[in-house]
């Protein structure tokens, strides 16, 4: 199946290239991120109680003595490909098509079409990253600050059933004065590509009701270098019965040179209405980087997530330190090296949360 998908992508690519005069001028981008990782796992002491099991030979119940497994630490060292992405974009008049293929996972991430309604508004339809936590998919994979996106964005996306930050839908995107806005009507579940009802196709028997999942987002460049925004997602009992409210405040100097500081703050709150009682989840994260020299920045960050604000000792988070180096500061993302240390912490008793991880990442971005 993966070979068929890859073959289809290659055929599409060749078809566009050979017909570019007819279809328009295509643009292609490619990202490769390779990494080496070291992880240390702390396993707490585990007490296995006595148990009983039936002995078919004697016809009796035998007791199996319990044991105490002492605490120990295990480690992992290895190499791999984090991402290999191919992007294609083409504009014909007022219409722009965009696709993104994740080769390492053999998955089509994005497939969207934009139509320009005016100089300040457009419609987008297909599968794409819509309104949501700025720390999630709205932070491009080429612009991730540390090794991975913030816990705030990742957990928000997981809870809201957008595992890869995307969903299928229709968005109105525009600008009104100093405000940027986006209104999205979607399927909710990011894995649900709906087909006509009862057509013997995937998800064709879903009873979604007559209302789509609705999300609203507003953001603004408050001053030069300061950007803020909020997103509100409404619960839908026939789709994703969870509401969310997220916000962000980012500081990015116009000229990010030696001695300058950039910083980010993200917060997200989700209300899960799927059970008898509502469950409130919440997370926040902050980070700051300083340009130590023209080719290197040093950063620290902390993020935490509480899966149930009414319970004690269930939150978890991490503290991160990063050294990011680029041999070409004017094209920072094109060739980027990252050395990132992650120290995880959890309030959950006797639960291993990979307390230490070390990443060495090499990113090549061709566009």
Instruction: Give the Cα separation of 103 and 86 in Å (integer).
Output: 7
How many CB atoms lie under 10 A from the CB of residue 350?
11
What average pLDDT does the structure give for the chain? Answer: 90
H-assigned helices in 129-210 = 151-159
Instruction: Give the Cα separation of 33 and 360 in Å (integer).
Output: 10
Residue where the block lists tokens 């059970």: 275
Lowest average pLDDT, out of 62-76, 86-100, 196-210, 349-363, goes to 196-210
Measured at the CA of 301, the angle between CA 333 and CA 78, to 5 degrees, comes to 65
Q: Who's near 14: CB < 8 A, 6+ residues apart?
A: none
pLDDT tens track for 132-162: 999 999 999 999 999 999 999 999 999 999 9
pLDDT tens track for 339-352: 999 998 776 665 55
Helix (H/G/I), strand (E/B), else coil: 16: helix
Instruction: Give the Cα separation of 315 and 44 in Å (integer).
Output: 18
Quote the DSSP letter at residue 131.
Answer: S
pTM: 0.86
pLDDT value, residue 53: 87
Give residue 21's pLDDT band: very low, low, confident or very high (50, 70, 90).
very low
Q: Domains of the chain: which residue ranges?
A: 2-17+25-37+85-366
From the list 204, 162, 207, 164, the residue with the least C-alpha distance to 186 is 162
Q: Are 120 and 175 in contact (CB under 8 A)?
A: yes
Instruction: Give the Cα separation of 222 and 238 in Å (integer).
Output: 37
Provide the phi-psi class of 59: left if phi over 0, else alpha when psi is between -120 and 50, else beta: left
Domain 2-17+25-37+85-366 belongs in CATH node 3.90.1170.50: no
Is the predicted pLDDT of residue 205 greater than 60, yes or no?
A: yes
Q: Who's near 148: CB < 8 A, 6+ residues apart?
A: 154
Is the predicted pLDDT of residue 10 greater than 60, yes or no?
A: no
Give residue 71's pLDDT band: very low, low, confident or very high (50, 70, 90).
confident
**What mean pLDDT comes out for the span 96-105?**
95
Chain-centroid distance, C-alpha 184 = 18
């Amino acid at each position: 199946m993966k070979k068929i998908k890859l073959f289809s992508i290659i055929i599409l690519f060749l078809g566009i290239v050979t017909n570019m005069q007819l279809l328009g001028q295509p643009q292609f981008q490619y990202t490769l991120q390779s990494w080496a990782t070291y992880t240390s796992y702390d396993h707490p002491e585990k007490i296995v109680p006595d148990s009983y099991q039936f002995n078919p030979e004697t016809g009796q119940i035998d007791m199996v003595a319990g044991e105490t497994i002492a605490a120990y630490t295990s480690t992992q060292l290895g190499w791999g490909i984090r991402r290999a992405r191919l992007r294609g974009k083409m504009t014909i008049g007022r219409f722009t098509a965009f696709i993104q293929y994740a080769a390492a996972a053999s998955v089509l991430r994005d497939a969207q079409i934009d139509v320009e309604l005016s100089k300040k508004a457009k419609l987008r339809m297909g599968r794409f990253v819509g309104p949501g936590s700025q720390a999630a998919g709205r932070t491009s994979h080429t612009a991730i600050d540390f090794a991975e996106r913030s816990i705030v964005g990742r957990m928000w996306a997981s809870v809201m059933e957008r595992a890869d930050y995307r969903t299928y839908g229709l968005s109105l995107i525009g600008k009104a004065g100093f405000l940027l806005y986006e209104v999205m009507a979607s399927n909710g579940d990011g894995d649900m590509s709906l087909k006509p009802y009862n057509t013997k196709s995937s998800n064709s028997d879903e009873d979604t009701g007559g209302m789509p999942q609705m999300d609203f987002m507003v953001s603004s460049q408050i001053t030069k270098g300061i950007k803020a925004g909020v997103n509100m997602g409404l619960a839908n009992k026939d789709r994703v019965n969870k509401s969310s409210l997220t916000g962000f405040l980012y500081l990015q100097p116009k000229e990010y040179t030696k001695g300058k500081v950039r910083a980010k703050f993200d917060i997200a709150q989700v209300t899960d209405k799927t059970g008898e009682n509502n469950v409130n989840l919440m997370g926040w994260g902050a980070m700051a980087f300083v340009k130590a020299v023209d080719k290197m920045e040093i950063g620290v960050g902390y993020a935490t997530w509480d899966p149930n604000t009414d319970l004690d000792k269930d939150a978890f988070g991490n503290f991160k330190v990063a050294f990011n180096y680029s041999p070409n500061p004017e094209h920072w993302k094109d060739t980027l090296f990252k050395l990132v240390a992650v120290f995880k912490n959890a309030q959950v008793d006797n639960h291993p949360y990979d307390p230490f991880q070390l990443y060495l990442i090499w990113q090549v971005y061709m566009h």
